[in-house]
Amino acid sequence: MLAESIHSVADTGNQVLLLIGARLSKRQPDEEFQFGFARESYFWSFVVAMILFSLGSLFALYEGIGKLRHPHEIDNVAWAIVILILGVVLEGSSFLTAVRTSQPLKGDRSWWRFIRSSRIAELTVVLLEDFGALIGLGIALTAVTVSTVTGDPVWDAIGTICIGVLLGAIATLLAVEMRGLLIGESAQPGDYDKIRTAMLGAPDVVDVIHLRTQHFGPEQLLVGAKIAFSRDLSVLQLANAINEVERLVREVVPIARPMYIEPDIIRDVEPQPGDSGDSNPVS
């Protein structure tokens, strides 16, 4: 019960941090941060992972090991069960809301693949936190029930340790995912292909020599490309051709901004590793 109480407090604080991150990420660019603050949401999601690990997992493990060494009977079992069941109902409602919100974005991907590939940090955090909370409540309810039925408080300690391990695993997964987003993950393969196809379909484009993308935030995607245009274009025509490429790309991937297009020519030399535009260089 105490482990789940601390977990609930951490969860509540984490939601506040996610709201702060979402708000700060919408600030306008300034001279110091000329690409804006979109990565604020990724930073605060990483902080959430650290809090979940330190305040949730480590405390539960400490409490569980202490109970394992010095077992004691559970007081007010009825109240404990009522509170845990109420927690399941509330967390279940929150989890279903997160699932409904994620469903249109998930598409035909598995939930595991969606979590691993999503560039929306808040959804990843809420889905994993709520799922972990439901599992943790189930563990706590089982541990309390078994301890009461058997009269052995060791089961309560084991349940607490299991909650600590669960929270540690979720926090580690979140930290790994947020690390990738903070470093700068590329566009999802589907969006990458759409961008490349739109570029190749633009008038006066001969080939896409190479293409690079990086998420600044869930709704801001940096696109940089070196493109071979028709060689007979004037300067004005080339500028118009570049603008048309940008327009076509944003039709299929609206978050593609800022975008930088460099005109170039195809040279008969061996391509350098990673320079080919035939496939997404970064997964």
Q: What is the pLDDT of residue 279?
A: 45
Cα separation of 149 and 144, whole Å?
9
d(C-alpha 164, C-alpha 146), whole Å: 18
Among candidate residues 199, 201, 175, 170, the one with its CA nearest the CA of residue 187: 199
Residue ranges in the chain modelled with pLDDT below 50? 270, 273, 276-283
CA–CA gap between residue 102 and residue 253 (Å, rounded): 19
The alpha carbon dihedral of 161, 166, 167, 168 has a sign of: positive
3-state SS, residue 164: helix
User: What pLDDT digit, counting tens, does each position of 152-204 carry?
Assistant: 888 988 988 998 899 889 888 988 888 888 888 999 888 999 999 999 999 99
In the chain, which residue ranges form alpha helices assigned H by DSSP?
2-24, 40-51, 59-69, 77-106, 111-117, 121-150, 154-183, 189-200, 235-252
**DSSP SS3 for 23:** helix
Q: What are phi and psi of 235, to 5 degrees?
A: -60, -45
User: Please, how many CA atoms are within 13 Å of residue 144, restricted to the half-sphere of its CB?
Assistant: 23
- The CA angle 187-188-190, to the nearest 5 degrees, is 115
Q: What is the pTM of this model?
A: 0.74
CB 167 within 8 A of CB 201: no
Q: What domains appear along the chain, each with residue ranges and CATH number?
A: 2-183 (1.20.1510.10), 189-264 (3.30.70.1350)
Identify the three-state secondary structure at position 62.
Answer: helix
